Structure 1
């Protein structure tokens, strides 16, 4: 994201979330109503990227601790695993309409996965979990190695930390 946006940083109380519009009212409202409160409560952490010229928010991603039921995994991955399995949730991801199509979402996913790998060195974590809202997001996550959890009724997707490490996500950023 260098040169196009600022580096990801934690959401701040003074950030102008009212001007952000990703085209999905549910995500706009989550940013305005819940992101900061969740941050204060330690429920999730939202990282933002901004327009370097104006300081406007142009994208965000939220991460939190999560778990998945072992039964949701492919049968081959269920054997001798704890239940539930520890995970990091890539919960919310959005890019302002004016910045869509410029690779910002891809950069935010890369940042989230790199962060997850780094955290997994300190706290046990099997995978990164996400709940894509549509097929466009599913396609984005698939490019990063996410796979459908075949037995999850919510149609979640996950990528194993071990696979991220194998594919060069070293957690260094």
Structure 2
């Protein structure tokens, strides 16, 4: 079993070319855009690597954004501004050689704890994601994500206050 590093921000010297999660669109995004997006302050990618080989075992990408109030459940729309601040969990992928080892779970915990920590400083409603398929959707549901009922993209969100209630603010 590989010994894995703690999550850390992607570095220019990391070898992204060998990463293969089994989804070519996500591989290509990571290889072509992750580092560039970081350079221009659009998003941050965090990686977990194999401590021996340096291979990237998985990555998660976070950025900030907003959703329109109308996409929230009716019970959450009242007394909210038109644009609701969110963190966007844009990408989360695990290399096929490391799948089933808890890398995705570790990256998700890292992303959610990071979002909660930042929300304490700047305020934010939740973490939004756009799952690619129903298997990915079920993975996110395990972390409290719920489908936005009025969003045609079938986005999912978990509220910061629910993450705090479930212990994601603990050190």
- Say yes or no: TM over 0.5: yes
Alignment of 1:52 with 2:51, yes or no, is yes
| 3-state SS in 2 of match to 1:121 | helix
Report what 1:40 is aligned to: 39
Structure 1 outlier segments of 4+, above 4 Å:
none
CA RMSD in angstroms comes to 1.0
Q: Distance in 2 between matches of 1:164 and 1:83?
A: 23
Q: Distance in 2 between matches of 1:46 and 1:83?
A: 29
Report what 1:27 is aligned to: 26
Q: Distance in 2 between matches of 1:128 and 1:63?
A: 9
- CA deviations on 1:40-75 (whole Å, 9 max, x unpaired) are 000000000000111110100000001111111111
- Does structure 1 retain, via aligned residues, the 8 Å contact 2:60–2:111? yes
Q: Distance in 1 between matches of 2:75 and 2:34?
A: 37
The TM-score normalised by the length of structure 1 is 0.96
| 3-state SS in 2 of match to 1:17 | coil
- Does structure 2 retain, via aligned residues, the 8 Å contact 1:95–1:105? yes
The TM-score normalised by the length of structure 2 is 0.97
- Superposed, 1:9-158 pairs within 5 Å as 9-158=8-157
Name stretches of at least 5 consecutive residues in structure 2 with no aligned partner. none
Name stretches of at least 5 consecutive residues in structure 1 with no aligned partner. none
Q: Distance in 2 between matches of 1:104 and 1:69?
A: 32
- CA deviations on 1:98-128 (whole Å, 9 max, x unpaired) are 1111111111111100000000011110000
- Does structure 2 retain, via aligned residues, the 8 Å contact 1:61–1:90? yes
Q: Distance in 2 between matches of 1:114 and 1:149?
A: 22
